[in-house]
Structure 1
């Protein structure tokens, strides 16, 4: 199809994003759907006698490529360039795209064509990546309901449609309620304790909205993380902290954006879908082919880590309450939720004389990115450079890069979009736009990916100066990106991040380790004005403080994973009554006892409810993969953090392999043994 007529179809690896206008979405997606359906119909017509791997399984792999590319671009734009017109176009096409994709495994003729080849001797003779794709495809179809009777298939299609619509509404509510709030402060004395960087950002935000003058300045705070988190951590004014905390707690909860009913509806739909597919609950349905295998196993993993850190968690919180009593001269008492970050930071300062803000000048974002690229080049044998020529991205702030193998082969391109905008959803994420494949001449077409975040913005002519935690996030998302760009799997759908969900965080989380080593930090942590590295005494304080309240952080992550699993293992318990109270009940021991009971973040927990599956019943996988990454990094610690041998082995055994082999085998190939579950506890100082 002509890319001038249908710009979203454009097969160019680097599309001109200015041509991807909202007005083209309906016609482009309709045309792509028609093409995709014709490709599926052609497979359905293959007779049993004529069935081969090429005209059944590989034809299925190729079907819908135009649709996948076009819809991927539309979906991406809804995340970074939201508008009412874009939403309307996306919502109009979402049911049709969902219908197409959900019907594939429910298409009896298609399933028959695949099975007709599967029963042949040629199928039994498949090896390597073809065998993996064959097995995974059959498993995908069975898990998605291919063997269901017709009436159940019809209901399953309806469920998939409803889930797509309701999770999109949930996501929109989170974004809209985040953007609907602003707090304007015209009394600078209320900002006591806030770092200069946070005040400057708030002043710049106010100016951008026409608030205040140089003579009568105003400071503007929003519910974007870089804006409100410094208030909770540093503002001496407890009422200010309470105000912003209370508003953040209402994201996805107040007025027309209340997600409470949507959560119940989504849980009901997911449970019905699981039962329709022969599983006891949604967790068992989605985890059956992940490393955990079942909701029960994932809960056991979570509860085991809980038992190993609960005593340390209790000790840490008792220490914090005692510290507050000592500092205020008041009797020891429970804390308010909006006071925890503030007093935790005070306690950390008293114990380690270390302030996160002291590191900001050493982390200008361009320096962080350049240093990260140099580390990846050295460890994994790569070359990364700015893309030359027109970039034509979706926003002027977006940068485009080329990634080469050290020997000169172009492996891919990637976009980076780091700062918050009102039309951009919160958080940080990686996604892929195109997946490369072998070419007839023996080469490979390049991959295309993107990394995005909502990091501290440049202020007052200074570069964007990041917190160390933000630096870790940048490295984390870059790890996901490398997983995609370094994939060398000949079948696209098995490439890169298309792996078991509880394995996908290994490549991202292992990258964070290079943010803590003196040798690696010296590659990029340089003062934005003087070029000096982090002073040794400041570095030592940073490392000493690394495991400050590590049990509390561990418990917070475990509590989120536990909540997720409980909602999807026992959904009937949460469908009526006080949702927050029931969640608190299920998290007994996981949460600190506070003076004011905080609301659950379930109504703004996009990981769980912003897409039909996403991280639902899978949030535990962050900790699961953290066990893997803590253990895997011990090889770099032994062989050298810049060890080319270890880096090439990780690239070869993990990053290049995607889902071409079982993840447990890939880990064992790299480490020479199964994972050591104690590695994470050791790294966190909990044993």
Structure 2
């Protein structure tokens, strides 16, 4: 029987024929991909010719393309457009994929050939990229079990198989819990403080559910403004409890046991491979190199930021006291922070939204990409997509095809929370053919209403630019090998391109170019733009402590700090005592929904966001000194982006900047440097 996933597609640019794929195609395609991949690996491992870079390392990098294609489509849709079928199949195939991966890594004949190439190939005979691939391949095998005994290899297989199922289950539980909660209000007095647009959205949500009144959910476009504007403190507390109990209630979706098992298995795996902890294993292949460096980095920033955060909270407590609140809690923070912002800068996020229609913000991102890198984005109506709300763009440079760009912006029951960038097809070169990437960004912004387009908060504007920055990293890729292409870099470097793009949202001239009222076309008044720029580091002390707390918690989980019987809330209270700015509420914990580190690949790596902020602040300062669209500096940054993982990240950065990054740029931008 024909299977579209296994056929060559006669589509524009080899784009995925989403509308022709049937559910029953996936499992056979996975099984065929695994079978084909095994044959390719066997051919490499059993090759009787002397091992060379070409017949071993290059051949390995080129193997498994059928399986990679199927897995990229399936797991991307499992995040953006899942259903019961996808969730069940994800549980079924994840252990098979883990086993397949182990079959490669633990293949003794294959590793013997890799080792031979490593030991017998003169480094001067390789290009810099080839040398990098050889080193990466050897380390990938030696770090992941190739040197273990047969007994330990079997143990590793069992661990990896179990880990793969647990991470999928963790993510499914978070999504189910997110979709399960609703705050149903029927009295208008409970809506006090909420902007009209948020009330309208809640009304539409209620109507969709055949309910009277208004419905608020744990989806970001509903939850965040509710916490920021709802005057009814009891309801803010109620929503806060729902957030803190997500995947932490006494039901089948409670992730506590999964966390204990994940942390235990990761630690056991690291020990098996000769590392003190999972963090030590992960960080060996990061810019930071070891847990000591990361913890020192986090502690140093905590020391510098906490005095500022404490002062900021005191101001908010004074504001709350005017409303008779003497025991300010964490669920009051967003409400009073927004009140303070409005008082201090004379604007609210809601009053800015009419000036930030999604269409105009996306156009601005495209304009930035064109001015910096010469990229142009043109919508293509003839390319298939997986949901009607997805839009597809052809990207060109100097008239030449550069790649495809998919956007998916609105919440759905089948979409996990948050925002992310992903690829359906990586860039690489094969026999003079430069295969270009197919890249996607997925977000959860407010939907258009009957009479309004999708209007973004300023925070959502920066989110779009952040994910767009990731997409540029993938889109500009220009490497020979798939495993070194685009975002295939150290994870404490991968956030540089994304966070770098956020800086453009705070440039006055650039803001004026796209902050236009969706009805009148009027530009956001200059004084409001000045206020936005001035507010760039508003509550930055608090925000820094919050980000650091996530990184500290992540490192504690993965350096052996979690005791066998600890509850999530007790563990968080203990580990985060130095970052607590508000009293703890019993029965709540954020770890059970901390998808980044338990389902999203950021384990022992959440510190990367702050680490990369040092890089992005330093990089953008270079642009500001010479013009934020300076063509010479943009060309240097483009080289950094297009190089992917072909060079050491610090080498790439120094080639761009002329020196190593300085933390002072971050402290200055964040307003955390002592005057």
Give the Cα separation in 2 of the matches to 1:5 and 1:569: 45
SS at match of 2:537: coil
Query: Which of 635, 646, 649 is equivalent to 1:660?
Result: 646
Q: 1:164 to 1:443 in 2, by over 3 A?
A: closer
The question of 1:606 aligning with 2:599 is answered no
The equivalent residue for 2:257 is 261
Aligned residue pairs, count? 669
Give the Cα separation in 1 of the matches to 2:430 and 2:255: 47
The equivalent residue for 2:421 is 430
- Contact 1:337–1:598 (8 Å) recurs in 2: no
The question of 1:418 aligning with 2:409 is answered yes
The equivalent residue for 2:400 is 409
Q: What is the deviation of 1:246?
A: 1.1
The equivalent residue for 1:73 is 73
The equivalent residue for 1:476 is 466
Q: What is the deviation of 1:570?
A: 2.1
Q: What is the deviation of 1:354?
A: 2.1
Query: Which of 385, 395, 417 is equivalent to 1:393?
Result: 385
Give the Cα separation in 1 of the matches to 2:662 and 2:429: 36
Query: Where in structure 2 are the equivalents of 1:241-320 lying within 5 Å?
Result: 241-254=236-249, 255-320=251-316
Give the Cα separation in 2 of the matches to 1:595 and 1:582: 12
- Contact 1:117–1:123 (8 Å) recurs in 2: no
* TM-score computed with the length of structure 1 as normaliser: 0.95
The equivalent residue for 1:164 is 164
- Contact 1:437–1:492 (8 Å) recurs in 2: yes
Q: What is the deviation of 1:6?
A: 4.3
Give the Cα separation in 2 of the matches to 1:184 and 1:126: 64
Query: Where in structure 2 are the equivalents of 1:665-680 lying within 5 Å?
Result: 665-680=651-666
Give the Cα separation in 1 of the matches to 2:281 and 2:88: 32
Give the Cα separation in 2 of the matches to 1:288 and 1:671: 25
Q: What is the deviation of 1:336?
A: 1.9
Q: What is the deviation of 1:378?
A: 0.8
- Contact 2:330–2:582 (8 Å) recurs in 1: no
Report the RMSD for the aligned CA atoms in angstroms: 1.6
Query: Where in structure 2 are the equivalents of 1:36-75 lying within 5 Å?
Result: 36-47=37-48, 49-75=49-75
The equivalent residue for 2:34 is 33
Query: Where in structure 2 are the equivalents of 1:263-662 lying within 5 Å?
Result: 263-325=259-321, 327-329=322-324, 333-387=326-380, 389-405=381-397, 407-438=398-429, 440=431, 442=432, 444-571=434-561, 573-594=562-583, 596=585, 599-611=588-600, 614-652=601-639, 654-662=640-648
Describe the superposition over 1:442-501 as per-residue Cα deviations: whole angstroms up to 9, x where unpaired.
452221111000011111321000001001010000110110110001111100000000
Give the Cα separation in 1 of the matches to 2:433 and 2:567: 59
The equivalent residue for 2:668 is 682
Q: What is the deviation of 1:544?
A: 2.2
Structure 1 residue ranges without an equivalent (≥5): 213-217
- Contact 1:430–1:477 (8 Å) recurs in 2: yes
- Contact 1:174–1:251 (8 Å) recurs in 2: yes
SS at match of 1:589: helix
* TM-score computed with the length of structure 2 as normaliser: 0.97
Q: What is the deviation of 1:643?
A: 1.3
SS at match of 1:444: strand
- Contact 2:245–2:589 (8 Å) recurs in 1: no
- Contact 1:356–1:467 (8 Å) recurs in 2: yes
Describe the superposition over 1:358-377 as per-residue Cα deviations: whole angstroms up to 9, x where unpaired.
11011100111111101110
Describe the superposition over 1:66-105 as per-residue Cα deviations: whole angstroms up to 9, x where unpaired.
1001111111111122111122222222211111112211
Query: Which of 217, 225, 233 is equivalent to 1:222?
Result: 217
Give the Cα separation in 2 of the matches to 1:102 and 1:678: 44
Q: What is the deviation of 1:8?
A: 5.4
Q: 1:409 to 1:590 in 2, by over 3 A?
A: same
Give the Cα separation in 1 of the matches to 2:359 and 2:83: 29
Q: What is the deviation of 1:120?
A: 2.3
SS at match of 1:104: helix
Structure 2 residue ranges without an equivalent (≥5): none
Deviates more, 1:281-290 or 1:313-322: 313-322
The equivalent residue for 2:150 is 150
Describe the superposition over 1:274-313 as per-residue Cα deviations: whole angstroms up to 9, x where unpaired.
0001000000001101001011211111001001111111
Give the Cα separation in 2 of the matches to 1:285 and 1:526: 49
